[in-house]
Amino acid sequence: MNKKIFKVCFDMKLDKTISIKKSKKNKCEMLDGNITFFSNEEDFLLIGIELSKHIGIDNYNVNLDSNYLFETETNDLNSNFLSFGDKVKKLYEGLMLGSWKYSGHKTMNNEDSEASLDKSNLAKSGLMEINLSFDLEKSLLEFNNSNTNEFNQTLRDAIYEMNLNPELKKNYLKECLEKITYEIDEVRKICECTNFARELVEMPSNFLTPSIFAEKAKKIEKESENKKLKITIIEEVSGGILEVSKGSLEKPKLIVCEYYGGEGEILGLVGKGVTFDSGGLSLKPAKSMEDMKTDMAGAANVLSIMKLLSDTNSKKNVVAVMPCVENMPSGSALKPGDVISAMSGQTIEVLNTDAEGRLILCDALWYIQEKLNAKTVIDFATLTGSVVVGLGELFAGLFSNDDFLSESLIKSGKRKSEFLCRLPLHKNYDKLIDSDIADMCNIQKPGSGAGSITAAQFLQRFVKKDTKWAHIDIAGTAYTSHKSMINLRKSTGFGVRLMFDFIQNI
């Protein structure tokens, strides 16, 4: 017998109704307007993503008519209801992430492009208002007609009491709905900022130069209702940031964000912002250059995270540094064999100008420790092709000098389906980047392999001994070649949801 405990309607202001029903099948699929699925919480994220493939834009309803609510071991009615609320949030999150699509340069003359733009707007416009309605009396009747062995008597008594006491029912529903509504609003903000990061990564490099990136950062500060967020653009730069940018007509920018939401230690975030990477004089092959507009995904993540902290009025203290440059060849460009000085004063023999990301990250790491007093620092960078060879597009590479920090990041990644794999740091790898004429080389010795590890070893030389540090190489996960159940688009925003979860739990 189909036992309908609560009838719950989510009104999302779209254009059709789809019923979601319980199935024992461990999958999510659409059959004649119905979704069948296995009802654990994470599946609701996949359901939302699946629904996003089929939806239109106006007056859309999703009706859940099922018995998910009380499928837990607890007798507490409130806990059961809020557990269901967690599934609602996952559904909402999936709809927002799945419906996003970048098509900012399509003309409106094309019907397909118009539909794409409409669908893109779905994720940018507050998506939906959610109304929940409950038929407790009908639920009670169906409880009485059901097999009592399958239900907890305490729970049955609680529902019966609520039906006898209208005021209790009213207050209970009001309290639970207020909590779920607040949390859904937070999910909306998380998804909007994730999609903002995805949009930045998708933008062509002529529409997102270092200067334009800086303008977008200042716009976030200007439009934010939260005055705790401060963004500074530093144009007079030195060190590796200046050296990498010398081949381009575009001037480098060092974007500094500060958000102080309360008391406590300062967390520092660093994001690589190479808005286009030609490889410099160590020129990339033409095919390898096509997607190099995405080499600023680390900076896109970090800026989006700072926006999210402001939007949610976080109580944490977080600072961020994003070095933004173009890496281009010209008569004034950095040359293989040059020796440069980083902001820290350490010297670097540049053997390959296509290993430029670490040359700007090392300055950002120094700056965030020396100028902003961050004691824990996490950097995001599309740094090496080697990490893609080792881990593919599902896991990002994680390097850290602190076990607890590493474990916390991995746990946050699991909760958000943004997976991290910890890779080693070891002093013996340092020998591979030693230089005969400078403090270090910017690439490892030929034939030694371990490209992602030696890149992390390079960065570690700019981390103070008392600083907790993690480096996340998102070269494989930020912009993927294949669609997955979680990511329907090339640009993923990988790391935004993970990092917000981490920050909330520190």
Nearest Cα residue to 328 out of 236, 252, 239 = 252
DSSP-assigned letters across all residues of 366-403 = HHHHHTT--SEEEEEE---SHHHHHHTTTEEEEEES-H
Which H or E element spans position 211?
Answer: helix 210-223
Catalytic residue among 216, 253, 307, 358: 358
What 3-state DSSP class applies to 114? helix
- Give the span between the Cα atoms of 8 and 181, in whole angstroms: 14
Write out the two tokens for 72.
């837990």
Nearest Cα residue to 391 out of 383, 403, 401 = 383
Contacts with 155 (C-beta within 8 Å, 6 or more apart), sequence order? 70, 75, 77, 80
Catalytic residue among 7, 230, 284, 415: 284
Residue 197 Cα to chain centre, angstroms: 8
Nearest Cα residue to 174 out of 134, 144, 138, 229 = 134
Residues shown for the chain:
506
- Give the span between the Cα atoms of 37 and 30, in whole angstroms: 9
- Annotation marks residue 422 as catalytic: no
What's 501's DSSP letter?
H
- Annotation marks residue 21 as catalytic: no
Write out the two tokens for 118.
């409409």
Write out the two tokens for 174.
């009001």
- Give the span between the Cα atoms of 12 and 188, in whole angstroms: 13
Task: Give the catalytic positions in this structure.
Answer: 284, 358
